[in-house]
Structure 1
Amino acid sequence: MLDLATLSENLKRTRDEIKLKIHLGSKDLQEEWSELEQSWASFESRAQLDKSARDVSDAVKILGSELKDAYTRILKAL
């Protein structure tokens, strides 16, 4: 599994790419994006806590993996 910093950077890059394309997507994708933005905020805040604690929690890794899968699904749909 990727380390948290690499995962975070990869997710951020994919997220930025999707933000540029999402306005062209369907309503369903826009709704899913809205939900993912809430998950992103949660992931980002937990990742920041992790940097200071140096203790990667399983929950953050799972959330990151779920975000990666969802971003991949949206990219394919666009």
Structure 2
Amino acid sequence: MNLQEDLKKLSEKIRQYRDEARVQLHLAREDVKDEWDDLEKDWEKFRNKLDLVLHDAEDATHDAKQTAQRLGEEVRAGYERIRDRLK
């Protein structure tokens, strides 16, 4: 599996965690809502970076791909934390 496929799978997993957390968000306390707002900004950064990497897959540097991977992992972990806190 290559990095591009890994990034697509990561994006799908993030979307799943994000959707699950959004459903439960109305039950959240204010501190969780603040964390959600911060993660939404990071999600947008990740999506923009991912779009650039996937659009220019051949021209994208290895560093750009790794940056997208790292940012995606951080965003995934954030949504996973929120989801787990809401259970």
- TM-score where L is the length of structure 2: 0.82
Deviation at 1:7, TM superposition (A): 0.5
User: 1:67 maps to which residue?
Assistant: 75
State percent identity of aligned pairs.
32
RMSD: 1.6
Deviations 1:33-75 (A, max 9, x none): 0000000011011111111111462111111111111111111
Which secondary structure state, in structure 2, belongs to the residue aligned with residue 47 of structure 1?
Answer: helix
The correspondence for 1:43, drawn from 46, 58, 64, is 46
User: 1:33 maps to which residue?
Assistant: 36
Structure 1: which 5+ runs fail to align? none
Asked which structure has the greater RCO (Cα within 8 Å, sep 6+), the reply is 2
Which secondary structure state, in structure 2, belongs to the residue aligned with residue 39 of structure 1?
Answer: helix
Task: Give, in whole Å, the separation in 2 of the partners of 1:75 and 1:14.
Answer: 7
Deviation at 1:23, TM superposition (A): 1.2
Deviation at 1:14, TM superposition (A): 1.1
- TM-score where L is the length of structure 1: 0.90
Determine whether 1:77 maps to 2:85.
Answer: yes
Structure 2: which 5+ runs fail to align? none
User: 2:10 maps to which residue?
Assistant: 7
Q: Which contiguous aligned blocks of 4+ residues in structure 1 show a shift greater than 4 angstroms? A: none
Which secondary structure state, in structure 2, belongs to the residue aligned with residue 5 of structure 1?
Answer: helix
Structure 2 letter corresponding to 1:35: D
Which secondary structure state, in structure 2, belongs to the residue aligned with residue 14 of structure 1?
Answer: helix
